[in-house]
Amino acid sequence: MIRIINFKAYGDFLIALYFLKKIKSKYINFDIKIVCGSHIKALAQALDVEDDLIYVGDKWQDVPAIYNIKKNINFNILSSIFEIRNSLKNLPLSNIFLFDKMGLREKLSITAHKYIYLDNKINIYIDYINKLKSMDIDISDFIYKKNNLTNAIIIPNARDKAREIPLHVILEFINILEDKNINVKVLINKIDTHKYAVIKEELLISYEQSFKNLLSIVKKFDFCITADSMPSHLCEYLNIPVFVSTPAPKEYWLPLSCYKLNGWANFSSSNEITTWIDGMK
Please give the C-alpha separations between residue 196 and each of 142, 170, 191, 203, 230, in angstroms, as whole numbers: 37, 10, 11, 10, 21
Is residue 97 within 8 A of residue 88, CB to CB? The reply is yes
Q: Report the pLDDT value the prediction gives residue 85, as an integer from 0 to 100.
A: 85
Q: Report the pLDDT value the prediction gives residue 159, as an integer from 0 to 100.
A: 85
Whether residue 143 lies inside any domain: the answer is no
We report the CATH number of the domain holding residue 43 as 3.40.50
Give the alpha-carbon dihedral of 11, 12, 16, 22, to 10 degrees: 40
Is residue 33 within 8 A of residue 53, CB to CB? The reply is yes
Tens of pLDDT, residues 184-208: 999 999 999 999 999 999 999 999 9
Whether residue 56 lies inside any domain: the answer is yes
Can you tell me the distance from the alpha carbon of 149 to that of 181, in angstroms, rounded to the nearest whole number? 10
Q: Examine the fold and report which residue of 79, 107, 134 is the final residue of a domain before the chain moves on.
A: 134
Is residue 257 within 8 A of residue 144, CB to CB? The reply is yes
CB atoms inside a 10 Å sphere around CB 106: 18
Q: Report the pLDDT value the prediction gives residue 246, as an integer from 0 to 100.
A: 95
Can you tell me the distance from the alpha carbon of 81 to that of 87, in angstroms, rounded to the nearest whole number? 10
Burial of 73 (0-12, 13-18, 19+ CB in 10 A): exposed
Whether residue 251 lies inside any domain: the answer is yes
Q: Report the pLDDT value the prediction gives residue 116, as an integer from 0 to 100.
A: 95
Is residue 271 within 8 A of residue 176, CB to CB? The reply is yes
User: Where does residue 228 fall: left (phi above 0), alpha (psi -120 to 50 degrees), or beta otherwise?
Assistant: beta
Please give the C-alpha separations between residue 11 and each of 45, 80, 157, 176, 232, in angstroms, as whole numbers: 15, 20, 13, 28, 8
Domain count, the chain: 2
Whether residue 72 lies inside any domain: the answer is yes
Tens of pLDDT, residues 10-38: 999 999 999 999 999 999 889 999 999 88
* Domain carrying residue 235: 151-279
Q: Report the pLDDT value the prediction gives residue 200, as an integer from 0 to 100.
A: 95
Q: Examine the fold and report which residue of 105, 134, 163 is the final residue of a domain before the chain moves on.
A: 134
Q: Which of 221, 216, 79, 213 is nearest to 154 (CA)?
A: 221
Residues 211 and 119 in one domain: no
We report the CATH number of the domain holding residue 246 as 3.40.50.2000
Give Dmax (Cα) for the chain.
59
Residues 174 and 259 in one domain: yes
Q: Report the pLDDT value the prediction gives residue 169, as an integer from 0 to 100.
A: 96
Q: Report the pLDDT value the prediction gives residue 144, as an integer from 0 to 100.
A: 66
Q: Report the pLDDT value the prediction gives residue 141, as an integer from 0 to 100.
A: 74
Backbone phi, psi, residue 30, to 5°: -70, 135
Is residue 21 within 8 A of residue 28, CB to CB? The reply is no
Can you tell me the distance from the alpha carbon of 192 to that of 147, in angstroms, rounded to the nearest whole number? 31
Residues 187 and 118 in one domain: no
Q: pLDDT of the chain along its 281 residues, tens only?
A: 899 999 888 999 999 999 999 999 999 889 999 999 888 999 999 999 999 999 887 665 667 656 665 655 566 777 777 888 888 888 999 999 999 999 888 888 888 899 999 998 999 999 999 999 999 999 887 666 666 789 999 999 998 889 999 999 999 999 999 999 999 999 999 999 999 999 999 999 999 999 999 999 999 999 999 999 999 999 999 999 999 999 987 899 999 999 999 999 999 888 899 999 988 87
